[in-house]
Amino acid sequence: MIRRVALGIAYRGTAYQGWQSQPGGCTVQDKLEAALSAFVDQPVTTLCAGRTDAGVHGLNQVVHLDSPVEREPFSWVRGCNRYLPQDIAVQWCREVAPGFHARNSARSRRYRYLLLESPVRPALEDGQAGWVFRPLDGDAMRAAAARLIGEHDFSSFRSSECQAASPVKTLYAIQITRRGAYWRLDFHGSAFLHHMIRNIMGCLVAVGSGRQPPGWIDAVLAARDRDAAAPTFAAEGLYFVGPQYDPALGIPEHTPAMDWFG
């Protein structure tokens, strides 16, 4: 009997060429599917809630798979982690209904960007935080971010490689907070285009550093042209926090890695 299983995956993306499987095999999906296949002793394929780029991290990436074997949830977690590298770990497992789909069942998605403001480049946090050496104005960035909330055509923030059917997405919230030298930007939206958050980050940093006024964001949105926006910001500080589903499905939205931010 085939059973549909959902898993939550946390990973540090520094060493990988993104989530999606590639011929070279150096992606998070490749490592996960190899571990799952070793655990059940037969080939396993997965579908994820949201693909991430090279260098981007995941706190609660959700995948589903159809398993021909029966295992207890804790066995999926421990058994799969036995075969995974140290920078990837299954966090939880749930058996779900046959109609559950990690991507299509998601109601919204959340991302987080961790940004170091310092005259000195990162060291211990290298690969895990973005970096700016100019002082940032948080109020200016919040004023700019507020102009992005709602349903918009985000073509100006869309990569030329984006495969989304439509550039129209809805941003529910952008929260910008600071603790010491670190800025944390939390994004919540219906879905996101390829490079959309990294392109928004480039624009918010341009505003925060005084190179552009907050109202410039209106012109960027209206242009619907990638050339109107700032350059794509670094991948290192970006984290896929995870998707959100109907609570009735019982899919966990929190993993211990989320507490690492404080």
Length of the chain: 262
Closest CA to 9 of 64, 106, 90: 90
53 included as an active-site residue: yes
Neighbours of 224 (CB within 10 A): 15
Residue 128 CA to residue 226 CA, distance in Å, equals 26
Tokens representing residue 234 in the block: 């670094």
Closest CA to 211 of 132, 155, 146, 154: 132
Q: Phi and psi dihedrals of 14, rounded to 5?
A: -55, -40
Phi-psi region of 127 (alpha: psi -120 to 50; beta: other; left: phi over 0): left
Q: Phi and psi dihedrals of 83, rounded to 5?
A: -100, 0
Tokens representing residue 238 in the block: 């970006």
Q: Which of 53, 137, 186, 227 is catalytic?
A: 53
Place of tokens 């150096």: 26
Catalytic residue annotation:
53
